[in-house]
Amino acid sequence: METGQSTCFGGPMKSHAVFELRRYRLHPGGRERLIGLFDSEFVEPQEALGMRIEGEFRDCGDPDAFVWVRSFLDMEARTDALAAFYSAPVWKEHGPHANETMLNSDNVLLLKPVAGTHPFSRNRSREQEARQTMGLIAVNICSLAPGTEDKFAAFFVAEALPILERTGARVDAVLTTERSVNGFPRLPVREGETVFVWFEMHENEDSLSRHQERLRKDVRWTREVFPHMDSQCWRTIEVSRLTPTSRSLCTF
């Protein structure tokens, strides 16, 4: 049996405390154009300003969606880095071409790590490595009542995470809503929401299917743990299946 190995509790290397989960709606056929532009023009300039591009993904269920995650040392660093990047020559030159591919770029969740975790810590060891980009990522978004995220997160870490790992998932990040004021309102975020997000990593479709089958056979998961989590959510847990692009650090 496969076993998951969570890396979200690994030791941090220059740990970042603020994360953006960004989902763009694109014009039909625009995704590959945007990915090419993003990878050739936008990755290094952002990272030079202290941002980290944690992952870039194609949505398996939506050919006109591009999903990516970037992180910052803290909220002040986020404000400064965004102001510098979006006023820089590289964005002025290439930003309009990127925007031409998009219907909407405002579906953004501003997030922070669950206490005691270090999201995407595996990425740090991969930044300087030649790597194969592979895997299937399941991003799970739970919409919660305000003020309940800490209790939900504690239950997830204590009760759900061990089962997910035992049944074959590798959980690389667990995140909740960052409530600080958006210091760069030129880029809107989804405000007034409370969410809990976890990233599951799987080798491929077959390994994800085996993991899901094991969950269905796990009595405690089906009768206790998942029903409790589901009952705390205002709507059905949103699950997106993603594949990493060629430059994504977040990969299996």
pLDDT tens string 104-141:
999 999 999 999 999 999 886 655 454 566 899 999 99
Phi-psi region of 135 (alpha: psi -120 to 50; beta: other; left: phi over 0): left
Mean pLDDT confidence for 37-42: 97
Q: Which residues contact 224 (CB under 8 A, 6 or more apart)?
A: 159
Output the average pLDDT for the chain. Answer: 93
Chain position carrying tokens 């993603």: 242
**d(C-alpha 21, C-alpha 111), whole Å:** 8
Cβ neighbour number for residue 32 with a 10 Å cutoff: 14
- pLDDT tens digits for range 147-175: 999 999 999 999 999 999 999 999 999 99
For 18-244, CATH number?
Answer: 3.30.70.100
Domain ranges within the chain, ordered by starting residue: 18-244
Q: What is the pLDDT of residue 226?
A: 98
Q: Is the pLDDT of residue 142 over 60?
A: yes
Tokens encoding 100: 């031409």
- DSSP assignment of 95-158 equals HHHHHTTEEEEEEEEEEEEPTT--TTHHHHTTTTS------EEEEEEEEB-TT-HHHHHHHIII
Closest to 242 measured CA to CA, from 194, 211, 193, 208: 208
